[in-house]
């Protein structure tokens, strides 16, 4: 009995993103972490990182220094891929908001727009019933 083995190689295709000089930076600053994503002008992700992915654990993830470290690593990848001018969209109440903006500026990316897209409830869900003592 001859055993025939089918050999399959799993090769990853390297995606060829069209990257112009303009991009968008999305910063989600929660109370526990800071997530950063840089996209091209179409919306395809070029680079991303977070405070947790930068090596911080526990309560140190929620610090401004952790946010700065995450943004610097992402901005370095974006500058290497050719992005020069960005629009910044910030979401959330976290401590890394201001630190992330300063890190973008110091990384060599010029900021053309800063927008706060934090979701705000206009009436929200139904309130709890009145407490009777």
Least confident of 6-20, 23-37, 112-126: 6-20
**Is the whole model's pTM more than 0.85, yes or no?**
no
Phi and psi, residue 65, nearest 5°: -65, -40
87 pLDDT above the threshold of 70: yes
Q: How confident is the model at residue 19 (pLDDT cuts 50, 70, 90)?
A: confident
CATH dotted code for 22-116: 3.30.420.80
The structural domains of the chain, with segments of one domain joined by +, span: 22-116
Least confident of 16-25, 38-47, 58-67, 96-105: 16-25
Average pLDDT of every residue of the chain = 91
């Amino acid at each position: 009995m001859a055993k025939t083995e089918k050999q399959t190689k799993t090769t990853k295709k390297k995606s060829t993103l069209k990257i112009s000089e303009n991009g968008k930076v999305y910063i989600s600053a929660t109370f526990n972490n800071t997530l950063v994503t840089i996209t091209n002008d179409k919306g395809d992700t070029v680079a991303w990182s977070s405070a947790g992915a930068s090596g911080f654990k526990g309560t140190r993830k929620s610090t401004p220094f952790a946010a700065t470290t995450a943004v610097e690593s992402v901005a370095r990848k974006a500058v290497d891929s050719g992005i020069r001018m960005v629009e910044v969209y910030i979401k959330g109440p976290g401590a890394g908001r201001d630190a992330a903006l300063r890190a973008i500026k110091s990384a060599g990316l010029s900021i053309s727009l800063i927008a706060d897209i934090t979701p705000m409830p206009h009436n929200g869900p139904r309130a709890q019933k009145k407490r009777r003592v």
